[in-house]
Amino acid sequence: MAGATAGRTYSGPVLFAFVRHDSPWPMTARPILIDTDPGQDDAVAILLALASPELDVTAITAVAGNVPLPLTSANARKVCELAGRPDIAVHAGCDRPIRQPLVTAEHVHGKTGLDGADLRAPEMPLQEKGGVEAIIDLAREVEGLTICALGPLTNVATALTRAPDIASKIREIVLMGGAYFEVGNITPAAEFNIFVDPDAAKMVFASGCKITVLPLDVTHKVLVTPGRIAAFREMETRIGDAIADWTGFFERFDKEKYGSDGAPLHDPCVIGYLLWPELFSGRHINVEIETASELTRGMTVADWWGVTDRPANATFIGDVDAEAFFLRMTDRLTRL
Ligand code: BDR
Ligand code: CA
């Protein structure tokens, strides 16, 4: 598969000769960079991307979020090794938000961030280049790079601030974050990724980049129910077992908190959106980020009904066909 190899520089989009079921023509794999804070749901998103020939994972950049940076950068490498892809370049990015002290989520993800499945310590090296530099370099080198942002937006915002020229080079930023009707999961007003670094989010939403948002409104429909966990187990692979163990671990938190059938599988929605956009629907609207108020810090003020004349700056996804998404995702993950 195409992609960045540890120790060598990625030099542009690579043609991947696969044929879609519905198309007789070979397609070009879409180059993506995954910025992430694994997290069990981040891990499933990485695996889904690595299982998908339509996507070319040029690099992974880790950021502090669910757990501190040393853990997220180790977890990203553990997941690559689980997928049999030690060649993926993993870079460590920012270890704290731009202005706020770091808030983590061990209460959801466990002490390691990947509690539930016992993965061995990674052997593949962390790249010497930092995560912010990797984003800047790849945005300049790779034509049409898409950034998949699965954690607080610190790395992405810092890259855009240090190298404003990359805003016009990045094809799209697809991010998990924010909420509208579902409001907050870390405070009554805010979703975790945006809450942790609202200043970074504000910069990203003001960057002029094409932005697509997968908020809680979508991810709270994508629940890992007992039946869906059983389907992962029935894959009868190390990867299926790891996913079943991870999702089995973190669903306890959401079941207790929300009384739902299972935990939301947030971050895979970003990759699912790139693979199967027809399963998702939303609106192109204005989204602003609250950074000043203590009460509503990190709130995504999404003008869903167009009640202001502020210009649209993001596509805010509102709905998903969760059943089709799970069927396709499970099928895809069996390929790894
Ligand atoms: C987001 O926060 C993290 O806990 C998850 O990995 C996801 O990115 C959901 O609010
Ligand atoms: Ca995440």
The answer to whether the Cα torsion of 201, 202, 206, 207 is positive or negative is negative
* Pocket-forming residues, ligand 1, beta carbon under 6 Å: 39, 41-42, 66, 105, 108, 150-151, 176, 185, 191-193, 266-267
- Per-residue pLDDT at 26: 52
**Closest CA relative to residue 264, chosen from 214, 332, 304:** 214
Say whether pLDDT at 233 is over 60. yes
Q: Which of 292, 291, 289, 293 is nearest to 302 (CA)?
A: 289
* Distance from Cα 232 to the centre of ligand 2, integer Å: 20
Is residue 304 predicted with pLDDT exceeding 90? yes
- Buried b / exposed e across 143-181, counting CB within 10 Å, b at 16+? eebbbbbbbbbbbbbbbbeebeebbebbbbbbbbbbbbe
Q: What is the mean pLDDT of residues 297-322?
A: 98
Beta strands in the chain (DSSP E): 15-19, 26-28, 30-36, 55-62, 90-92, 146-149, 172-176, 211-214, 223-224, 263-264, 280-285, 287-289, 300-302, 314-320
Whether pLDDT at 25 is above 90 = no
Any idea which of 34-43, 55-64, 129-138, 259-268 has the lowest mean pLDDT? 259-268
pLDDT in tens, 14-24: 333 333 444 44
**CA-to-CA dists, residue 41 to 61, 129, 130, angstroms:** 16, 26, 23
Q: Is the dihedral of CA 28, 88, 332, 329 positive or negative?
A: negative
Shortest-distance atom of ligand 1 to CA 109: 4
Per-residue pLDDT at 300 exceeds 90: yes
Q: Could you give the percent of the chain with pLDDT greater than 70?
A: 90
Q: Write out pLDDT tens, residues 237-268.
A: 999 999 999 998 887 766 667 777 788 999 99
Q: Can you tell me whether residue 269 is helix, strand or coil? A: helix
pTM of the model: 0.92
In the residue annotation, 284 being an active-site residue is answered as: no
Distance CA 325, CA 285 (A): 24
% of the chain exceeding 90 in pLDDT: 86
* Ligand 1 atom at minimal distance to the Cα of residue 41: 6
DSSP state, residue 164? G
